[in-house]
A and B are shown apart, each in its own frame.
Chain A
C-alpha cells in the first residue's frame, strides 16, 4: 500500500520558516495518492534424499494477486527438481580425477503479475477545465480500458544442469541448458486511438527462450608462491515470440513479430552513403520523383526494399533486437607471494543499439562532429546540413548500431605488507592496491558506450526514446589501503 502526500510551497516570505507555514507561500500545491495491492501465497515443499545420492525437491505454490482479474487471481505453480550426485556412486567415490559430479534435472512454473494495480478496472482520472476565469472545474475522463481477463504471466521451464569438480576442485564449473515457454505474457499493447485509448495492459501471447549457461572456474597454476585462477562465464539465449493473442504474425504497431524477440526494431534502412550528384543517382532520384518520393543530393538515402521506386511504410524491415545474443565474462587472478593482480573482462555480442546521436544537421544545435555531405564533399554517410530545418524525416533509419563490445572493466594490483611488520602495530593485515576501472573497451560502436545506450524504450506514442548521449562510462584510477585489525 502506498499513500504518498506532498505539500509544496514556493516563494515563502522567510526562508527560515522551513515547512512550518506553507500556507504563507504564494504558490502552493498539494498532492496525495492511494494505491493498495496485496498478494497471498501458499507454499508446500517436500525434500527427499535417498542414500545421499538421489535428491528430490518438489514444491507447490499457490499464489493470489489482487492486481489480476476476478477468476484469474489464483494460480498454482508446481516445481520439481531431481538431483543425482554421481560422484557419490561407488564407481566414482574413490576417483582421483573427479571430485564432484552432480546431474540436475528441473521443471518449474513461475509467475509474474507485475501490472499496475487497478488495471482490471476502467479507471478514470481528473482533467482540468474552467468556466469561471479564476475558479476551475475538475472533470473526470476515462483513463484506462478495463481488462477483465488479466491473468498471470506464467513461465514453464525445463532445465538440465551439471555441476562438476575435477582434480580436487582445480577445475570446477556448471553447465545449464534450459528451455522456457512463457505464456500469457503481460505487456502493454498499443491500440488504435479511435477508441480513445492508446494502449492496454494485456496477456499478449507466448514466447520461447532457449539458452545455455556455462561457468568454469580453474586454478591454472599453483606452484609455490604463484597462483593463477580463472573464472569464465558464458551465456547465450534465443528468445522468440511463438504466438500472439491477436492471431497476427506481425504486429507493426507494437513491433512484435512471431519468430523474433519481443524487443525488436522495425524501421526503414538507410544506405551507407547519402544521395549524390552522380548521373546514376540523379536518374534514380528522378524515378522516385515520379512517384512523389522527392530527394535531393545530400538527402538520406532510404533503401527502397521492394523496389517500387517510392519510399513507403512497406519499405520498413526488422532491424534487430537490443537483446545480446551472447554474453561472456572472464576474471583472472594472479598471486605471487604478497602480490596479487586481478583482471576482469566482460562483453556482449549480437545486440543492436538504438542510439540517436542528435545529428539533424539543422545548424541550430551542437551535434557530434560527423562526416557530412557538401556539394564538394560527396559520398558521405551523413546528410547535407540544412539551414534551420527540423529533423529530416526518416532519420531514425540511421540510428541503429551494432552494439558488440568487450570491456576490460577492472585491473587491480595489490601488495600485502608482511605480517611480521604489521603485527608489531597490532594490525592483522594491510594491503596496498592500485586499481583502474574501465581502462579499455573494444567496440565499433560510435557513441560513448553501447551499454548505456541500450536503456531506451518506447513512449506512449510509440516513439523510441533514447539517450541522445548515453551516459559516459568513467575511467577511474584508485589507490587504496585495506587494513583489518
Chain B
C-alpha cells in the first residue's frame, strides 16, 4: 500500500514537470542573431565588419609583414619579428609563427562577419532602401579587403563565402586564381553599389565608410596584381610559378577604375570627389617642433582605418587603455634620446663632446620602439632617390620634397640639463677651432628649443681628403652646432647582437613622419588616436600611370605621374630644409626655387624604358610616395618570386643568404592545418613543412 502511494506521488510529480517546462527556458537580454533582422542590428553587424581592418595598425603586427624585410625597409634595433620577417630565418619563419596565425585568424574573422552580413542584408526589409545597397557594398568591399591580404601573403587559401552555423573542419585551400576571381567579383559588385564619398568624405553621413573610391582602388590593385602574373608564371623554381588567372585585359580594367577615381583621362567626369592634398606634408600634419598640427581627413583619402580620440572606441578591452589604438607611431621611430655625444674611432678611442644631448622622452619624441628602419638603399646615391628616376637628371634629395617630408630630420632640445660645449678638435682629417666660426670654446652649442640632433643622408667621407672615415665623422661633428647624424657615415651593423646602441643605422635613422601622433593619454602609452590612411589617391595615380605605361600609352602615363610629381616638387617660395644647401649639394640662393620642372617626366622619358626598367622605376616611385604605408610586400610580390627575392636581397643586406624564393609566400599556420578534418591534401605552401 505504501509503495503504491509512492508511485502515485511520483507520477504526480512527473506531471508537474511538464507544467514547469518554461522554468528552464533560457532568458537573456543579450542578443542572438535575430538582432540582425532589424535595421539597427544589420547596421551594427556591418560596423563590426570594419573591426578587423584595425589589426594592421594595432599592436606589433602588419609592419613586419608588409614593410620589414623588403627593399626599402629592414629590421630595426628592437622587436621580436626580426628573425622571421627581417631576416627570413628558417628557424623562426615556420608554420608555428604566431604573427601569421593572428593575421590569418583576424582576416577570417572579418570575412565571417562579412559573410553573415551578406546573408542577412538581402532579406532585411526594415532598413531604408537607400541605405541597404550601401551596406551590402561595404560588406562586399571588406570581404575582398580581407581576402586580398590573405591572397597576397599566402596565395592559395581556403575560400569561404557563406556563414557557418555549425562546426566545419574541411576548409581546404583553393588555387589563388579562384581567390582573385572572388576578390574581383566582390569588388566589382561593391563598385556598383557604393556611392562616391561626398565632398566632405562622407558615405551615408559617416566618415570612413567604404566608398566607390575605396572599392575602385582595391579593384585596380587586384587587377594589376592579376595582370602581373605574366611576370610570375615562369620562375627559376617551377614550384614558384604562379597562376593568378590574369588576362591581358586586366590592364584595361586597372585604367578603367583608377582613372575614374582620379577623374583623369578616360575617367574624367566620373563624379569622383577625390583630389590630391596640395602639399605632401599636409597628409601627415606633423611639425617636429609642435607635434600634430591637424590630422588630414581630406579628399585624397580613399580608405581609412579609423581610430577615435576616445579610448573606449579603439580598444578590444574596455579597461586596458593600450589594448588597441594605433601603435604605428612607435614602430618606425628611432632612438634619438639620450644620445651619448661620442664618436668611436677605428682605434677604439671615443671622442666625446659633452655630457648631455638635451633630449628626454616626451610626447614629441615619441616612444622609440625602432622596430623597422630604412635600408641603406633608401638613402644611398644610387638608391631610391637616385638621379636616374628623374628626367632632369638631378637626384631626389635636391628636388623631391617627399624625402624630407616623409621623415623627421631635426629634433629639438627639450632638456635644460643639456651640456654640449664648443671645443676645438683636430685629427688626421683636419682641425677645427670654434673661433673660426665666431664661437667661444666652452659655450653651449645649443639650448632648450634649439636643434639638438640633425640627421642627413650625407656621406661625410667626401668632405675631407685625409683621415679615416670615423675621423672624418668626428671632425664633421665637431663643426656642427647640433649633434649631427649623417646616415651614410654611421655604422652599418651586420651582427644581430649589434643592432641597438647609438650611431648604427638600425637604431638611429630619420623617423618616419607619417604615423606620428602626440595625442596619447600618457607619454608611455602605446595606443595612439590617429587614423591610418590605408588607401589614398597618390597611390592610385602611380598605379594608373604604370598601367598606361604597360599599355604603351606614355602620354597619359606621364600625365598621371606628373600629378603626383608636381605635388611632390618644392614650390616656388617654399624654403627647402637646410640639408639642401648644407649637405646635399644645393646652393643657398636656390633654396626657395621651384623644382616642379625638374620633377616632371615626359612621355619620351617613360617610353625609353624597357618593361623591366619600368618595374624598377614604378617601385621606386611608389617608395617615394608611400614608404611605410604597409604596402611594400604587395608591390614586390606582383612580379613573381624570382624578382621579389632578387630585389630584396640586392637592397636589404640582412636577408642575404637566408632569403629564398619560396619565402614570397608565407607558411600556412600549423594551427589551421591541425584543425582540419579530414586533412587538406595540399595543406602547406612549397618550401615549408
Asked whether, in the complex, the Cβ of A124 is within 8 Å of the Cβ of B35, the reply is yes
Q: Which of B26, B29, B36 has the most CB of A within 10 A?
A: B26
A66 is an interface residue with CB less than 8 A from chain B: yes
Known contacts: A130-B307, A253-B675. The answer to whether A136 contacts B313 by CB under 8 A is yes
- A246 CA to B95 CA, complexed, in Å: 24
Q: Which residues of chain B are near A147, meaning CB under 8 Å?
A: 166-167
Contact of A40 with B24 in the complex, beta carbons under 8 Å: yes
The answer to whether A34 touches B677, judged by C-beta atoms less than 8 angstroms apart, is: no
With CB as the reference atom, state the residue of chain A lying closest to B111: A196
Alpha-carbon distance A251/B184, docked complex (angstroms): 36
Instruction: Give chain A interface residues in 100-153, CB to chain B under 8 Å.
Output: 117-118, 120-124, 127-142, 145-147
Name the interface residues of B165-212: CB closer than 8 Å to any CB of A.
165-169, 171, 206-209
Q: How far apart are the CA atoms of A38 and B25 in the complex, in Å?
A: 8
B310 proximal to A (CB < 8 A): yes
Cβ-defined contact, A194 with B672, below 8 A: yes
CB neighbours (8 Å) of B109 from chain A are: 193, 196
A200→B164 CA distance, assembly (Å): 12
Contacts of A123 in B (CB 8 A): 30-32
The reply to whether B499 and A190 form a contact with Cβ atoms under 8 Å apart is: no
Cβ contacts under 8 Å, A142 to chain B: 33, 112-113, 116
0/1 interface trace, chain B 475-501, chain A, CB 8 Å (1 if under): 000000000000000000000111110
A99 at the interface (CB under 8 A from B): no
B306 contacts A131, C-beta separation under 8 Å: yes
Structural contact, B48 and A34, CB atoms closer than 8 A = no
A-B Cβ contacts below 8 A, count: 242
Interface magnitude class on chain B: 35 or more
Chain B neighbourhood of A208, CB < 8 A:
none
Is B673 part of the contact surface with A, judged by Cβ < 8 Å?
yes
CB neighbours (8 Å) of A251 from chain B are 677
**A68-80 toward B: CB 8 Å interface, digit per residue (1/0)?**
0000011000000
Q: Are B45 and A388 in contact (CB-based, < 8 A)?
A: no
**Secondary structure of the A side of the interface?**
loop
Decide yes or no whether B609 CB sits under 8 A from chain A: no
- Encode contact with B along A37-78: 1 for CB under 8 Å, 0 otherwise: 111101010100000000000000010111100000110000
Cβ 8 A contact of A310, one of B95, B112, B689: B689
- Chain A residues with CB under 8 Å of B30's CB are 34, 118, 123-124
Distance (whole angstroms) from the CB of A389 to the closest CB of chain B: 7
Indicate if the CB atoms of A121 and B32 lie closer than 8 Å.
yes
B87 → chain A closest CB, angstroms: 11
- Smallest CB separation, B266 vs chain A (Å): 33
Are A66 and B25 also in contact (CB < 8 A) when A127-B51, A142-B112, A461-B671 are?
yes
Smallest Cβ distance from B294 to chain A, in angstroms?
12
Contact of A196 among B28, B45, B113 (CB under 8 A): B113
- Asked whether, in the complex, the Cβ of A194 is within 8 Å of the Cβ of B33, the reply is no
A146 (CB) vs chain B CBs: closest residue: B165
* A200-B167 contact in complex given A129-B51, A131-B207, A461-B101, C-beta closer than 8 Å: yes
Considering the chains assembled together, what is the distance between the CA atoms of A299 and B113 in angstroms?
43
Given known A40-B20, A132-B207, contact A191–B306 (CB-CB < 8 A): no
B665 an interface residue at 8 Å Cβ cutoff? no
- A141 touching B113 by the CB < 8 A rule? yes
Are B24 and A64 in touch, CB under 8 angstroms? yes
Bound-state Cα–Cα, A462 to B116, Å: 25
Q: Are B48 and A140 neighbours in the complex by a CB distance under 8 Å?
A: yes
Query: In this assembly, does A294 line the interface, its C-beta being within 8 Å of a C-beta of chain B?
Result: yes
**B83/A34 in contact, CB under 8 A:** no
Number of interface residues of A (CB under 8 A): 82
Q: Quick check: is A189 within 8 A (CB to CB) of the other chain?
A: yes
Bound CA–CA A37/B28 (angstroms): 9
A325 to B82, CA, bound (A): 43
By the criterion CB–CB under 8 Å, are B499 and A195 in contact? Answer: no
CA–CA, A251 to B412, complex, Å?
59
Within 8 Å by CB of B17, from A34, A40, A312, lies A40
Decide if B47 touches A192 in the complex (CB within 8 Å). no
Name A291's closest neighbour in chain B (CB-CB). Answer: B689
Interface residues of B in 1-46 (CB under 8 A from A): 6, 10, 13-14, 17, 20, 23-33, 35-36, 41, 44-46
Interface presence of A378 (CB below 8 A): no
CA distance A390 to B164 in the complex (A): 37
> Nearest-CB distance from B249 to chain A (Å)?
32
Known contacts A42-B13, A389-B496; A191 and B169 CB within 8 A of each other: yes
Choose from B13, B28, B90 the contact partner of A293 (Cβ within 8 Å): B90
User: Which of B28, B315, B660 interacts with A35 by CB under 8 Å?
Assistant: B28
Shortest beta-carbon distance from B127 to chain A in Å: 15
Nearest A residue to B9 via CB reads A44
A127 to B81, CA, bound (A): 28
B390 adjacent to chain A (CB < 8 Å): no
**In whole Å, how far is A70's beta carbon from the nearest beta carbon of chain B?**
9
A29 within 8 A of B: yes
Could you write out 8 A-B pairs with CB less than 8 Å apart? A40-B23, A62-B14, A129-B54, A130-B313, A134-B310, A137-B47, A292-B90, A461-B98
* Top 9 A-B pairs, shortest CB-CB distance: A196-B112, A136-B313, A139-B48, A387-B497, A139-B47, A141-B48, A131-B206, A195-B164, A312-B689
Additional A-B contacts beyond A44-B6, A130-B308, A393-B91 (14; CB < 8 A):
A29-B312, A36-B26, A42-B17, A118-B26, A128-B51, A131-B208, A140-B48, A142-B116, A193-B672, A195-B108, A196-B164, A197-B164, A246-B677, A386-B496
